[in-house]
């Protein structure tokens, strides 16, 4: 593949905007320009182009690329911190079926209303 058909960020194609916003901080002006050209040629997504253009503008105004953690994924929840507190002692008590009945125990008519009748 040529350099024009490959984005400078691994996994760029499926990257959420929150992750992209973080990861482009490590790119220099030339890499960012290449990424903008790639996006315009392949996806042309307005939100993505806005993020890229804002970062390019910051670099042109003197911002420096930062190392950043390229594995950072703000859209992913952190792993759980331990086991579940649910167990036999914390299970919900058993309950009766709802008042409208269940398939094996159909509901009973209320008061003097006859089923299908109109109940006068």
Each residue of 64-86: pLDDT tens digit?
988 766 666 666 666 767 777 77
Q: Using alpha carbons only, what angle is made at residue 28 by residues 1 and 75, rounded to the nearest 5 degrees?
A: 80
pTM of the model as a whole = 0.56
Q: Look at residue 1 and tell me whether its pLDDT is greater than 50.
A: no
Which of 61, 14, 6 is CA-nearest to residue 37?
6
* 66 assigned to some structural domain: no
Distance between CA 49 and CA 46 in Å, rounded? 5
Q: Is residue 96 part of a domain?
A: no
User: Is position 101 within any domain?
Assistant: no
In a domain, 65, yes or no: no
| Domains held by the chain: number | 1
Tell me whether residue 15 is in a domain.
yes
pLDDT at 36 over 90: yes
DSSP 69: -
Instruction: Tell me which residue range forms the domain holding 17.
Output: 3-60
pLDDT band at residue 33 using 50, 70 and 90 as cut-offs = very high
């Amino acid at each position: 593949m040529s350099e024009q058909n490959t984005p400078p960020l691994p996994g760029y194609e499926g990257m959420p905007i929150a992750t992209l916003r973080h990861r482009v901080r490590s790119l220099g002006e030339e890499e960012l320009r290449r990424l903008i050209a790639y996006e315009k040629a392949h996806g042309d997504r307005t939100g993505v182009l806005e993020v890229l253009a804002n970062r390019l503008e910051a670099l042109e105004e003197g911002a420096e690329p930062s190392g950043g953690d390229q594995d950072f994924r703000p859209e992913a929840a952190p792993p759980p911190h331990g086991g579940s507190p649910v167990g036999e002692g914390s299970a919900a008590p058993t309950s009766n079926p709802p008042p409208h009945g269940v398939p094996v125990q159909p509901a009973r008519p209320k008061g003097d209303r006859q089923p299908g009748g109109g109940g006068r």
